[in-house]
Amino acid sequence: MNERNTRAERAAHVGRVAALSLLAGTVGGAAVLAGEAFVARTRRYAEPELGLALRATVGSADAPPLRLVLLGDSAALGVGVQEFDETVGGQLAHLLAEGPAGRRVHLSSVGVSGSRSTDLATQVARALLGARPDVAVILIGANDATTLRRPSDAAAYLGGAVRRLCDAGVEVVVGTCPDLGAVRAVAPPLRQVIGWSGRRTARAQTVAVLEAGGTVVDLAAETGAVFRADAGTLCHDGYHPSADGYRVWAHALLPAVAAAAAVASSR
């Protein structure tokens, strides 16, 4: 009987030690994440360049015109670079102008740095002022993911924006949340957490965009490996893309945008 009691006591002791170790690990992990989140929030990040043109025309004067508008967050403005030709919009415009179709691209952006999907309604209203765009490119999701918003909620707002644009006769291409696990501004394990959040956001975005009639480009799947392998795809803050990073995104978006432009021209 005593031997059985001793074994039971030892088992209970091991269980208590395991439970305490798990609790300590959980508390310690939470403290690490909280500390890293504070550091990430207080870092100095790149700001929008006031000199960047939000409206520009690229291409031959006698080429077929294409009105292209960008909506979304800092990516739609080119935060992280200093020249128009380095932004994702500028690089897309040049690729479309120099491509087989040889378009004269009238580019504009209504994106706002720091935007989340809830901000798209205002941007859509601005995009539809005046001459109707032929193609809209939406780059959104990173700020939804880093603030751990519910993916379904963020995706619903995005789907609503896509539907409004499609109903207005605009072809829509959405670049889903990029691979946040590739950023250098955030240390592990928080980097893994926001990477996971970004993947969930991108999956929800894909469903919502397709249901609303838009086209999806999975930026994480298409370009994430490049960003993880090459730190030069990020600008000095380790978070926003550099000119090389925006070039990678532009080439990933190009096939879908060119196809959307062809559809718009056939109407």
Catalytic residues: 74, 237, 240
User: Tokens 């030690």 map to which residue?
Assistant: 17
Give burial (CB, 10 Å; 0-12/13-18/19+) of 166. middle
DSSP output for 133-162? PSEEEEE--HHHHHTT--HHHHHHHHHHHH
CA 46 to chain centre: 16
Q: Rounded distance, CA 84 to CA 202, Å?
A: 27
| Burial class of 60 by CB neighbour count within 10 A (0 to 12, 13 to 18, 19+) | exposed
Helix, strand, coil distribution of the chain in percent, nearest 5:
60, 10, 30
Q: Are 241 and 233 in contact, with CB atoms under 8 Å apart? A: yes
User: Distance between CA 182 and CA 69 in Å, rounded?
Assistant: 27
How, if at all, do strands 104-109 and 65-72 pair?
A: parallel
Would you call 66 helix, strand, or coil by DSSP?
strand
Specify whether the CB–CB gap between 113 and 123 falls below 8 A.
no
Contact between 84 and 30 under an 8 Å Cβ cutoff? The reply is no
